[in-house]
């Protein structure tokens, strides 16, 4: 569901010029817009802070690539024609330490998986994933906040929804009870102990509870509340997809994209400030312009998952909905054309995300806003890098 591919042409467009952004509606920082920011003024905002240790916070337009069209994609190649930003290989020292700690947590603290699943856990490469997505994390402790949550979210997906015993039947009850590990039950003294005992009853609930406890210690109350809200969104998306599976409904393309706006990566980039050791204030996070930017980024990263997991899903039992499959069935085109159109959808979402992020940074150049926007953009890039290079999980169709 979230990370698909389990039983997880306007190609080549460059980032548009962000100079000359104007605002005329009420400004996202609380005042009125209207000022047109061009040239060096906008460059200073999008360029972010300067000095030692601030290189990763630069929001200036980054070098973009559209993956070339090869004779046939090789393992580790990007999706041909995909609009993306290459990133450096994640710091190997941090990767090794995060990988060691997350496996120790998974085995010793929450008993996340049986021994026979160890190769799958290792192949997921959680350490590389989170280090690539959070290069501005102050240290490994901060990275572990995100890594535990990612491991827990995918345990819920595996056990409840997909290959390790998951089913759409009865999913709502399982998800709601697991959600109480994130959003605690407030009940009577008589029934509280039963709920407490339930939190240790299966791997997903153990993982959710432990990961959330660690997150709460690193986050402010508003950041924790934000995360709980985004996890409720995610679970709602799971339930929509499960309902369609039970009724064998193939959604229209817009319906599928609506489902994926909920069943997507949003809980991950939305905690970029917690992992970075700072806070985007709640009133700025809640502004409609910021909510739109976060949604666009999350939607683009989720289509990346659809594209890279496409062949794995086709090889799995049953029907797996993804954007190319829905386009093919609902728009009456072949598999190749549907896949290439899904690439176009991703590219459109990415360009819109970048344009809206630049406009928001210009309209509201508060340091925390600029840093948060940059953090979300880096998460998008790191997410693509992990999908592209994780050849244990993913391979591309031979459509070129």
* Among the ranges given (45-54, 96-105, 269-278, 368-377), the one the predictor scored with the smallest mean pLDDT: 45-54
Q: Is the pLDDT of residue 19 over 80?
A: no
pLDDT for the residue numbered 67: 62
Residue 340 has what DSSP assignment?
Answer: H
pLDDT for the residue numbered 161: 87
**Which residues neighbour 229 within 8 Å (Cβ) at sequence distance 6 or greater?**
none
Convert the pLDDT of each residue in 28-85 to its tens digit. 675 444 333 433 333 433 444 333 334 444 544 466 666 666 567 788 999 999 999 9
pLDDT for the residue numbered 208: 98
pLDDT for the residue numbered 307: 98
Convert the pLDDT of each residue in 299-349 to its tens digit. 999 999 999 999 998 887 777 899 999 999 999 999 999 999 999 999 999
Mean pLDDT to the nearest integer, 220-248: 96
Residues above pLDDT 90, as percent of the chain: 75
H or E, element range at 195 = helix 192-198
pLDDT for the residue numbered 317: 74
Residue 395 banded pLDDT, cuts 50, 70, 90: very high
Phi, psi of 197 (to 5 degrees): -65, -35
pLDDT for the residue numbered 22: 36
Q: Is the pLDDT of residue 206 over 80?
A: yes
Mean pLDDT to the nearest integer, 164-174: 85
Q: Pick from 189, 183, 235: which is nearest to 209 by CA?
A: 183
pTM confidence score: 0.85
Question: Does residue 181 contact residue 155 with C-beta atoms inside 8 Å?
Answer: no
Residue 10 banded pLDDT, cuts 50, 70, 90: very low
Mean pLDDT to the nearest integer, 212-217: 98
Q: Pick from 16, 15, 17, 31: which is nearest to 363 by CA?
A: 31
Q: Is the pLDDT of residue 198 over 90?
A: yes
Q: Which residues in 42-51 are b (16+ Cβ under 10 Å) and which e?
A: beebbbbeee
pLDDT for the residue numbered 21: 35
Residue 205: how many other CB atoms lie within 10 Å: 24
Q: Which residue has the higher pLDDT, 61 or 177?
A: 177
Mean pLDDT to the nearest integer, 164-176: 87
Residues above pLDDT 70, as percent of the chain: 82
For residue 399, give the 3-state DSSP assignment: coil
Mean pLDDT to the nearest integer, 165-176: 89
pLDDT for the residue numbered 30: 59
């Amino acid at each position: 569901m979230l990370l698909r591919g389990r039983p997880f042409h306007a190609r080549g467009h460059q980032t548009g010029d962000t100079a000359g952004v104007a605002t005329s509606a009420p400004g996202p920082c609380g005042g009125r817009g209207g000022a047109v920011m061009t040239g060096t003024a906008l460059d200073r905002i999008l360029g972010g802070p300067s000095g030692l240790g601030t290189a990763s916070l630069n929001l200036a337009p980054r070098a973009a690539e559209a993956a070339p069209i090869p004779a046939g994609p090789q393992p580790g190649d990007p999706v041909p024609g995909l609009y993306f930003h290459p990133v450096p290989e994640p710091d190997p020292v941090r990767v090794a330490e995060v990988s060691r700690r997350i496996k120790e947590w998974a085995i010793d603290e929450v008993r996340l998986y049986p021994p026979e699943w160890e190769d799958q856990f290792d192949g997921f490469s959680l350490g590389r994933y989170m280090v690539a997505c959070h290069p501005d994390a102050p240290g490994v402790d901060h990275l572990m906040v995100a890594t535990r949550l990612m491991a827990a979210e995918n345990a819920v997906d595996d056990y409840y929804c997909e290959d390790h015993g998951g089913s759409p039947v009865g999913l709502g009850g399982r998800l709601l009870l697991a959600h109480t590990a994130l959003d605690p039950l407030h009940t009577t003294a008589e029934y509280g102990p039963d709920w407490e005992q339930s939190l240790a009853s299966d791997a997903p609930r153990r993982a959710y509870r432990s990961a959330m406890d660690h997150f709460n210690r690193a986050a402010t109350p508003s950041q924790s509340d934000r995360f709980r809200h985004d996890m409720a969104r995610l679970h709602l998306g799971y339930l929509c997809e499960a309902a369609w599976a039970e009724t064998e409904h193939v959604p229209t393309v817009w319906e599928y994209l609506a489902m994926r706006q909920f069943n997507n990566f949003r809980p991950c980039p939305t905690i970029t400030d917690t992992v970075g050791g700072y806070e985007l204030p709640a009133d700025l996070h809640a502004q409609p312009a910021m909510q739109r930017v976060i949604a666009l980024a999350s939607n683009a990263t989720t289509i990346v998952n659809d594209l890279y997991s496409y062949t794995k899903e086709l090889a799995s039992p049953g029907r797996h909905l993804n954007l190319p499959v829905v386009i093919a069935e609902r728009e009456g085109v072949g598999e190749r054309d549907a896949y290439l159109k899904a690439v176009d959808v991703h590219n459109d979402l990415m360009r819109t995300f970048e344009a809206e992020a630049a406009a928001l940074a210009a309209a509201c150049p508060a340091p925390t806003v600029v840093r948060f926007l940059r953090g979300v953009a880096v998460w998008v890039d790191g997410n693509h890098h992990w999908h592209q290079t994780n050849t244990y999980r993913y391979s591309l169709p031979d459509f070129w």
